[in-house]
Each structure stands twice: as structure tokens, then as C-alpha cells.
Structure 1
Amino acid sequence: MTPETHSPTGTDDPELGPPPGCPAHGLGPGGLRRLYGPEAEDLGAVYEKLRAEHGTVAPALLHDDVPIWVVLGHSENMHMVSTPSQYCKDNRLWRPMREGEIRPDHPLMPHFAWQPICAHAEGDEHLRLRGAVTGAMSTIDPRGIRRYINRATQHLVNKFCEDGRADLVGQFAEHLPMAVLCEILGMPEEYGDKLVQAARDCLKGSETALVSHAYVMDVLGRLAVRRRAQPEEDFTSHLITHPAALTDDEVREHLRVVLLAAYEATTNLLANVLRLVLTDPGFRAQLKGGQMTVPEAVEQSLWDEPPFSTVFAYFAKQDTELGGQRIRKGDGLLLGIAPGNVDPRVRPDLKANMQGNRAHLAFSGGPHECPGQDIGRAIADVGVDALLTRVPDIQLACEERELRWHESISNRHLVELPVRFAPKPPQEVVLRPGAKQVPGQRPGSARTAAPQPQPAAAEPAVSVAEPATTPEPARRPGLFRRILRWWRIG
């Protein structure tokens, strides 16, 4: 795919470019809009301009003016992710990558680079890799993880409750998911500010993204070496010992997928739900009055402010057509989650209540549906409920218009969420090491996904009033066994 492929004139003739002084001179080669730089400070506005100019599938440019299609329509996105005969995620098919047009230090290289993971695989190889991950996940218990999320929330709230002020991004939303994921992977000792900051930076496309990515991979590489030498009852050990016999590279890369994708999505989800509660009086009143549950609030947020704006990327396996555009073999297409969620054909009224509707694109769909969606929902459900119970008088400590965002091609997240409340005394919380998972894996798990459990709503969160020091059995039937059966890997 080239910029000329996308050119409205269908040619690269410079004589047919915009005349001097035309606003189009702020665009890139071929008159295409850039998804980075000064021209893209508000990507939501850029997507709407692309929709008005090109329809549901639009040409655009990534960093270094690398051409890409942006899929803006809801049904077009769903068709793309659900038609593996036409589109796949093996980026070795992507023409700019295949022809060496992308520099090794490209800011989006963590997204571009091929890895031996199920998200980039097809057919039997996809089944083998996916089966290893879902097999490891089949040993995990949802009630245990919800208890751990509740305790981790209390621990974080204790750090700021006496101050009467806090930043719910830097002191809460960025830390709760990492604490939970480190416990799941079997590396609670690695949880800390440095890992949190590196994980956030990896997906920003910043100048330091590659350094941050290298740090995260070093942490996961050391974990994999330890667990291969001495397996324990955690996700990483079960992944390593699965009959699919993953290589060291495959283990490390799948740990990266689990950690980074689930962490970034859940951090953004937590911050977005809390912002909605703090800035929309009607929304908060419904929560307090019982007309809305926290899980319903989470679904509304997933429509309005999905954790990932776009996902890079799908690739055309053959010449085809999508949204009236001619897509050529080797073209790359961005999964347009945020623009697809506001497709006027699906949401003619953006203020309409979407709380009971899970048809949003926040977690993609098809064979590569987002792996972290259900554990992310559990962290958001329990974390938000427990936080609001501890500090029910919490209020935004600035004007809503003063809130700042960091926006990249992959996501838009709050920089901070300052709040105030009446100071509260800390509660006694014992963050004991998680109970061990159930040994062994189900026969045949190398080829099939784990069975689906009951919905999260059927599993109430542990009340904040539950004494944190209540004695518990020395060994439960697994800390996380069932919740990650929900976690569909793709």
C-alpha cells in the first residue's frame, strides 16, 4: 500500500496536488491526514474529518508517513476482525514492513514487530499458542482474584485516605491493575513504580518507548528463566509446563501480551469510569440510588471512552473491498475502536444510555478478541465499588475543563484525576500472598479454550466491611482459576 493508493486523485502527479496557500498543505503526501504530530492533536476530530471525507474506511498516515487504512465504521470493523479468510494479524504480510520502509527505531515498533504469539498466528499455530495460554488460565479462580482486588484496593486507599486529597490516576488507576497482574504472573516482588511507568510508556509511541519496552521484557525474561528452572503454582509456570511446549521466546512474548495489554486497558478503564462518576452528577446519582450497577457503569464507559482507541493492525491477505474502498493485498488496516463506537449508524444519539449493551468494539472481536476483557472488568467492578465505599464523599478537586489527557494513536488516557474528600483513618488490611492455583490443566486444553463461567455479576465483590484479618484456609482450590477462563486469548 502506498500513499498514492489512497490519493483522492488516484495518481502521484505533483501537478495535481493542492495549490499554494491551500489548507491541505498541512497534510502529508498524497493529501492524506496524519495520525501523529501537530495535525493530530485531537485524533477524535481527525477521525470525524476522515469519516466526512472518505466514509467508513479512510486512508491516513502513521509516523514517518507510513500509509495505513483507518476502519471507522462499526460493521466494517466487525467484518474485518471476523473474516480471517481476508484479513489476518500476521504483520509479515504488510508491504511497508516487508520492503524495509519502516526504520528499526520507529516509535511504533513495539506494535509493528512480529512476535511468536497467538495474536500474530493463524490456523494450527494459533490453536497451539492460544491453547497454552487458555490452559494456564483454566487453573485460576475468580473469587480469589476478586478478594485480592478488594484487598489491593484497600491497601492503595490507605496510602492517601488520611490526606483528604489524591490523584486517582497516579495513586490508584495506574497501580491496582499492575499489582493484580504481577500476582497472577507470579512476580509480586516486581510490582512498583518503575514497572508501572515502563508499562505505561511502552504503548505511547514516545521517544523512550523502546527503552521502556526493553525493561519490561527483561523483567519477564528473568521471570521465565526462574519458573522454567523451578515451576510454582502460578500462571507463568503453567504456561511453561503446558504440553504445547512453548519455546523461551514464545513464553516471554505471551507474558508480555498478558501484562501490557491487560494493564494498559484496565488502567485506562479504571480512570475513565472514575472520571465519569466524578464529572456526571446524574451518572453518580444513578449509582448511589441503585438504578445502575458498577458493571453497567463500566459498559457505558467502554462505549464512550474505550481503553484503546485503535489497535494495530490487520492485514489484507488478498485484494478485497471494505467500506467502498479498494484494499490491496499487503495493505494494513487500523481497527478503529473509538471511531467505530461513535459510528452514527450505530449511535445516532451519543447521549443515549448504552449501559446494558456489550456490542461496543472496546475488546475487538473474532479469533483475536482482546484477552484481558473479563479480568479488566473484574478489576474495574471491584476496584471502583471498593473505592467509592471507602470514600463516598469523594469529589473532583478541579474544574472538569482543567483535566489533561495524553493522546497517542493507540489510546487516550487521563494524565491525572485530582480529588478531595474528608480525611479517613486507614483500615487494617493484610495483603497476604495469593492462594496457590489448582495444579494441573484440563486434558485437551492445548487445543481448546477453557469453558465459560457464570457472568461476573453473579459473583459479588467482597464487602469493604469484611475484616481484612479474618482467618482463611491455608490452601484454597486456587487463587484465580475461573476468572481467566473468561479471558479469551487471541
Structure 2
Amino acid sequence: MNSPTPASGGCPVQHDGPGGPARLYGEHAAKDQQAIYDRLRKQHGTVAPVLLEGDVPAWLVLGYRENRRVLENPRQFTRDSRIWRDWKEGRVEDTSPLMQMVGWRPDCVSQEGEAHRRLRGAVTDSLRALADRGIKRHVTHFANKQIDAFADEGHADLVAQYAEYLPMLVLTRLFGLAEREGRQLAVSCAQVIKGGEDALAHNDRIMRILEVLADRKRAEPGADFTTGLLRHEAELDEDEILGHLRLVLITAHTTTSNLLARVLQSILTHPSHMAGLVSGQLTISAVVEEVMWNTPPLAVCPGRFATADLELGGRPVKAGDLLVLGLAAGNMDPEVRPDTSSGLHGNQAHLAFSGGSHECPGQGVGQAIIETAVDVLLHRVSGLHLTVAPDELTSTASTWEARLDRLPVAFSPQTAGA
């Protein structure tokens, strides 16, 4: 097993090469992610040195058990990036696109302890109120509206014409935003996750829209997530309000749109799935669960920071080191899943929603959007089938995710609204 060359601690600085860290961005990330994870696992074990955008060093946690240890031990691995040594010592600028994903913000993701409990409580209470008001009604409305646009054509790309924007259209209603802003926000959210030189500009665009929204909802409160945060007993300040609107909007849209596309892919590439859903012998939630094991919407989760020198997976992690969590790699860890082809029905121990105190608080909302969107599509469109071979479907990856490029289908044409 090769050891990393220390840079500002335990993290490596050398570039791709035999035994060296892999770049998880650019053209390197666009390749087969799972192949990269498998190579790193063979070379380094369950914790591997990697380089993030800007050649920023980090540890990628590949092992399932090691991911669980990091997620469930905030005293050793905090989300508070203000202890990140490479940032503190000036090797990572505040303008780095990486900061959009791992930098400190006044939201619950960046906090621990009582501050985290206070802020997360405001988010979960406001999300729970939305669920009680009937998310499925909004999903059904927008799903039918999306389907109406291609129903009489007899063919569609279910990524570009359904999965890519549907979650954001639902979120505009849940947030109290204008529907016309949905497509622009979807593009900007995707760009923030993707990274690159445009990430900061797209983040600024999102924040301007949310600032206007918060001001409007103070004057015109409604039954929406924004009003819930503004009126919560935790008394969030202006920065906390905007930080959580940004957090939920970006994470809810990007993960739900990605997962919806993958669920549709699974249904259309496995005849038994389609037959089981049509006959009632298989539930949509079971398909979602399987996809969350095999292709979680976030392949890599940012980030944790070591609070002290320690050992993880045999690696000398130093205080202030950045760790990123390999959720997709952990789900495929041969130590806990030696046969990846075996059935996973009823097993919810996947890493797709992260874990510990920072486990995704909006998973119920995302699940409701996906299950309703799939149900509406299957009931509206008959004879649905892929128009390409399953192995012709491609994905484009970034550091944090791998998104399905397209999902071309054909079906029996129908009159819009039928």
C-alpha cells in the first residue's frame, strides 16, 4: 500500500500517478467514477488521498464502516470548516469554487452541538409543515404539466423534459417563489454543484432571488417553507434565513432530480421492475431504495474536518485535514456487500442520505416528489420504453455526483391532458 506524501499535514500534494492521489474534478471526474473508486481502494485501502478542484488535497473515505465512523462522530470529524488548515493558512481562497460546497455558512450543515440543533430544528419543523399540506398535489400538478408538453409527440427525453426541472418546479411552489424562476434556479443550482469558474456567479444569482423572496414573505406571509423559517420560534437572523433557503433549494433540487432520473433509468432498463410496478408486486419506494444503494444522488458528500490527529482506515489524518465522504463507494464496499447483484429490498442501511446528526432532513420531501412523479408518468403514458440499448446511456460526473445525460423513450401518443 502506498503512503501519501504529506503536505500541510496528512493530506497529499502529488498528482495522478502510480500510488498517488486521483483528481476528483474536471476530465478525471468525468470518467467512470466507480472505476476510480475501485482503483483507489486497491491502491490505498478504505481511505485514499485525492485532489479536489484547484488541486486541493483531501482524504476520500471509501469504506462503509469508515464512512459511518466519520458521520457518527462529530467530536472527531466536524462540519465546521473554520478549522480547515488549508483554508486557514491561505492555500484555499474564499473565491475558490470549492468553497461553495465546503466553506462555512450560517446554516445547520456548518454547525455542531446546540447551534446545529437550533437551526436544524427550524428546517425540519418547516419541512414537516410542508409535508402535512400535501406535497403530492403540487407534484401531480407539475408532473402533468411537464407530460402535457410532450404527450402527443410519442417520444421524449425523460431527463431534459421531465426529471431535470420537475423537482425545482415543485420547490418554487413550496418556497413561495414564482414558477417562472424555476428553470433559471435549476440551472444555477446544478452549476454550483458542478463547480468550475461559473459556480460563484450562479450562487450569487441564487442568493439575489432568495433575498427578494425573503423580503416579500415578510410583507406577505404564506403557507410555505420561507414563511415557516421566518416565523419559527428559533428566531433565525437574516443570514440564517438566506443560508437555509439556499441550502434546501440547492440540495433538494439537485439530489431529487438526479435520483428521479436514476429511478426512471432503473425501471426502463429492468423489465422486471416495470412489470412489477404495473402488476402491483413491486412498489416505487422499493425501486428508489435499490437505486440509493447502487447510484446515490450524491456520489461524494462534502465534507468533514478532523478535530485532532487520528488514524482512519490505517491513514494518518491530521488535525484540520479535509475528508470527503464516498457515499457511492461505501455503498459498494466489498467488505459489507460482497455481491452487488443481490437484492436489497427492505435494507435501508445505505449511505445515500449521509448519516449521524447531519443526515438529510429533507429525504421525506424528496421521496414524495420521486414516487409521485414516477406514478403520474406511468399512469399517463402507455407503452413506455427506451429507444436505445441500456449500455448506450451515459453519465457526466463531477466531484460530487454523476448525472444521467439523457433517457430517450417512446410511447403511445396521446392528446395533451388526456
CA contact (8 A) 1:93 1:330 kept: yes
Shift of 1:26: 4.5
1:269 aligns to 2:254 (yes or no):
no
Task: Give the greater-gyration-radius structure (CA).
Answer: 1
Q: Which SS does the other structure have where 1:69 is aligned?
A: strand
| Aligned 1:241-390 pairs, distance under 5 A | 241-390=231-380
CA contact (8 A) 2:301 2:400 kept: yes
Which stretch shows the higher mean deviation, 152-161 or 142-151? 142-151
Measured in 2, the distance between the counterparts of 1:372 and 1:253 equals 15
Shift of 1:169: 0.8
Match of 1:155 in 2: 145
Match of 2:172 in 1: 182
Shift in alpha-carbon separation, 1:33–1:242, aligned structure 2, 3 A: same
Aligned AA for 2:25? Y
Match of 1:406 in 2: 396
Measured in 1, the distance between the counterparts of 2:52 and 2:12 equals 20
- TM-score normalised according to structure 2 size: 0.93
Shift in alpha-carbon separation, 1:236–1:38, aligned structure 2, 3 A: closer
CA contact (8 A) 2:4 2:12 kept: no
Shift in alpha-carbon separation, 1:138–1:286, aligned structure 2, 3 A: closer
Measured in 2, the distance between the counterparts of 1:69 and 1:176 equals 35
Q: Which SS does the other structure have where 2:400 is aligned?
A: coil
Aligned AA for 1:119? V
Aligned AA for 2:138? Y
Match of 1:21 in 2: none
CA contact (8 A) 1:316 1:331 kept: yes
Which stretch shows the higher mean deviation, 226-235 or 292-301? 226-235
1:195 aligns to 2:195 (yes or no):
no
Shift in alpha-carbon separation, 1:123–1:389, aligned structure 2, 3 A: same
Measured in 1, the distance between the counterparts of 2:78 and 2:12 equals 28
Superposition CA RMSD, Å: 2.3
Which stretch shows the higher mean deviation, 374-383 or 33-42? 33-42
Shift of 1:335: 1.1
Aligned AA for 1:410? W
Match of 1:123 in 2: 113
Which stretch shows the higher mean deviation, 104-113 or 157-166? 104-113
Q: Which SS does the other structure have where 2:190 is aligned?
A: helix
Measured in 1, the distance between the counterparts of 2:56 and 2:11 equals 17
Task: Mark the runs of 5 or more structure 2 residues left unpaired by the alignment.
Answer: none
Shift of 1:192: 3.3
1:47 aligns to 2:37 (yes or no):
yes
Match of 1:36 in 2: 25
Measured in 2, the distance between the counterparts of 1:137 and 1:153 equals 21
Shift in alpha-carbon separation, 1:56–1:129, aligned structure 2, 3 A: same
Shift of 1:300: 0.5
- TM-score normalised according to structure 1 size: 0.80
Q: Which SS does the other structure have where 1:187 is aligned?
A: coil
Match of 2:72 in 1: 82
Match of 1:479 in 2: none
Match of 1:140 in 2: 130
Aligned AA for 1:178? M
Measured in 1, the distance between the counterparts of 2:108 and 2:26 equals 32
1:105-162 per-position Cα deviation (integer Å, ceiling 9, x unaligned): 4232211321100111111211221122223234334462112212221111111100
Measured in 2, the distance between the counterparts of 1:63 and 1:202 equals 13
Aligned AA for 1:264? T
CA contact (8 A) 1:165 1:420 kept: yes
CA contact (8 A) 1:26 1:39 kept: no
Aligned AA for 1:164? G
Measured in 1, the distance between the counterparts of 2:381 and 2:359 equals 35
Match of 1:482 in 2: none
Measured in 1, the distance between the counterparts of 2:78 and 2:16 equals 33
CA contact (8 A) 1:173 1:268 kept: yes
Measured in 1, the distance between the counterparts of 2:11 and 2:361 equals 39
1:66 aligns to 2:56 (yes or no):
yes
Match of 2:415 in 1: 425
Match of 2:156 among 155, 166, 188: 166
CA contact (8 A) 1:166 1:419 kept: yes
Measured in 2, the distance between the counterparts of 1:10 and 1:330 equals 10
Q: Which SS does the other structure have where 1:162 is aligned?
A: coil
Aligned AA for 2:5? E
CA contact (8 A) 1:258 1:371 kept: no
Shift of 1:388: 0.9
Measured in 2, the distance between the counterparts of 1:180 and 1:281 equals 29
CA contact (8 A) 1:300 1:354 kept: yes
Shift of 1:208: 1.8
Shift in alpha-carbon separation, 1:111–1:141, aligned structure 2, 3 A: closer
Measured in 2, the distance between the counterparts of 1:203 and 1:334 equals 14
